[in-house]
Amino acid sequence: MVHMRVPLGMNAIPECPRLGRRDMLRATAAAVVVAAGAAGTPVDAGPVAVTAGARSSVRPGIRAYKLYTGPDHATHVLEGTIDEKDRTDVIAIHFKETPAHSAEDWHVSPELQYVITLSGTLEFTTRDGGTFVVQPGDVVLSEDPVGSGHKWRLTDDQPWRRAYVVLKPGAKDSFVAKSGG
């Protein structure tokens, strides 16, 4: 097991002679999940919120949503899961905390990234009218760097703590859209 301290504000994962950058990122992500569970933050967040037009439930697995820019330059959302067997090339991980009851108006994603919610419950809205609820343990694949964007608001009394995992340009993501969606 790898034990390491990550200073606040750190932008890069240090190289380790025995572990590559990918292994260090995986170890860091695993530590985040373990720490969230130890802190009493639920990792299994229960049933998924219904997305407009959804016809069936999501398969078991890590619940995920994919925000993407459509040909109409509007942000749309897909509901699905993360393929736990798939691996993705990433280049960075960073963390952020936003106070309870916060919101952010329309914006686009700065880069292709996974946003892993550690605490807080949020409602996301897209320009096409899609809404979905993200709870601790959920993953948002944010892939809408252009267009009309999305917005979010915290709906509970918890701060939104999250990890941003930035994908390497051109890397395949591990998102699996639900069937019939």
- Six token digits for residue 110: 């700065």
pLDDT at 30 over 70: no
Q: What pLDDT does residue 8 have?
A: 39
Cα 129 from chain centre: 20
Per-residue pLDDT tens digits for 114-140: 999 999 999 999 988 899 999 999 999
Does the pTM exceed 0.75?
no
Confidence of residue 59 (pLDDT cuts 50, 70, 90): low
Q: What is the mean pLDDT of residues 40-69?
A: 58
Q: Let me know: does 64 contact 139? Beta carbons within 8 Å.
A: yes
Residue 39 predicted with pLDDT over 90: no
CA distances from 86 to 34, 175, 176 (A): 20, 9, 10
Element housing 119 (H / E): strand 113-119
> 44 versus 121: which is more confidently predicted?
121
Confidence check: pLDDT of 98 > 80: yes
Listed in sequence order, the residues at least 6 apart from 53 whose beta carbon sits closer than 8 Å to its beta carbon are: none
Contacts of residue 121, defined as CB under 8 A and 6 or more positions apart, other chains included, come to: 133, 134, 135, 136, 154, 155, 156, 158
Task: Give the model's pLDDT for residue 3.
Answer: 39
> pLDDT at residue 162 above 90?
yes
Does the pLDDT of residue 154 top 60, yes or no?
A: yes
CA distances from 176 to 3, 24, 64, 81, 91 (A): 32, 25, 8, 5, 21
Q: 32 or 110, which is more confident?
A: 110
- The helix/strand/coil state of 166 is strand
Across the range 136-163, mean pLDDT stands at 97
Residue 61 confidence (pLDDT): 87
